[in-house]
Structure 1
Amino acid sequence: MATLMEEEVFMAFTTYATIVLLKMLLMAPMTAYFRFNRGAFANEEDVALKPAEERKKLFRTHPDVERVRRCHMNDLENIVPFVLIGLLYALTGPELSTALLHFRFFTACRIFHSIAYVGALPQPCRALSWMLGLLVTFSMAYRVLGKVLVL
């Protein structure tokens, strides 16, 4: 394990995996911020201490809150596979420059995807950033299977 931590590719993977995982974690407080800021709560217990009339106004959805929440869900669908496949990819011993290209490109795509999603940028901004990030993950998966495929 100590020698693995000294490998440059593994350290690069660890760096970029941590960045995208932190980005994903920060979406939850951002959702909470939008909920409080827009006065739109998803659960009755969130507004239980408010007067009855105010509860009716606060127990609702808001497009901005839903946009941030959907962005967070999209992160779960994309970042988790990247981390798992990226770990396997890093263990196959790729060239550092190629690995860095994969890790950096995916990270940039996910950050831009969140900006496009939350900022409601016009399509195809969000779709392209999602698709390119997905292609990076598929590229790493292809490399893993090409290196270790045993049937």
Structure 2
Amino acid sequence: MAGSTLKFENPLFANFLFYAGVVLLKTCMMSLLTARYRNKNKAFMTEEDCQALKQRTGMDVKPTRNDPDIERVRGCHHNDLENVIPFVLIGLLYIMTDPNPWYAKMHFRIFTIARLFHSVAYLKPLPQPSRALGWLLGYIVTLSMGVSVVLAGIM
């Protein structure tokens, strides 16, 4: 199994790639959402962006770093970076431990659903503890996989 663990022929690896791809694409989409809000709210961080807007439209705006819509999206994006990257890295190591396929798939699915829910709760916003529960569930999944990796390394 070791030679074929990280190949598409391994259904568990293919399943992991699907869910990792979903959460990585969602994380990438947060950059586009930030740009959308920057343009919609005319809230740019740098002087050169403000100058470019002025050249295109004649609007004179000053740099701003405290637009609440943008800060909400950036907070969500930052949280994705803190959680999705460890999930992907630990998930790759976890696959190498030859885990029970059903449990592994549940880890991947639960993490993905938790991260999607977290983003909805962050961006909508839903009342707390909604967002915190979404984060916690995803964190527990990553922690569980990490513990499995460490235990497999000890044995």
For residues 54-65 of structure 1, the aligned pairs below 5 Å read 54-56=60-62, 59-60=63-64, 61-65=66-70
Alignment correspondent of 2:149: 144
Alignment correspondent of 1:25: 28
Q: Is the 8 A contact 1:20 1:79 kept in 2?
A: yes
Give the Cα separation in 1 of the matches to 2:85 and 2:147: 17
The count of corresponding residues between Structure 1 and Structure 2 is 148
Alignment correspondent of 1:121: 126
Give the Cα separation in 2 of the matches to 1:46 and 1:108: 36
For residues 38-77 of structure 1, the aligned pairs below 5 Å read 38-49=41-52, 50=54, 54-56=60-62, 59-60=63-64, 61-77=66-82
Q: CA RMSD in A?
A: 1.8
- What secondary structure does 2:60 align onto? helix
Alignment correspondent of 1:34: 37
Give the Cα separation in 2 of the matches to 1:121 and 1:83: 27
Q: Is the 8 A contact 1:13 1:103 kept in 2?
A: yes
Alignment correspondent of 1:134: 139
TM-score under structure 2 length normalisation:
0.89
- What secondary structure does 2:44 align onto? coil
**Uncovered stretches (5+) of structure 1, i.e. residues with no partner:** none
For residues 75-94 of structure 1, the aligned pairs below 5 Å read 75-94=80-99
TM-score under structure 1 length normalisation:
0.92
- What secondary structure does 2:152 align onto? helix
Alignment correspondent of 1:12: 15
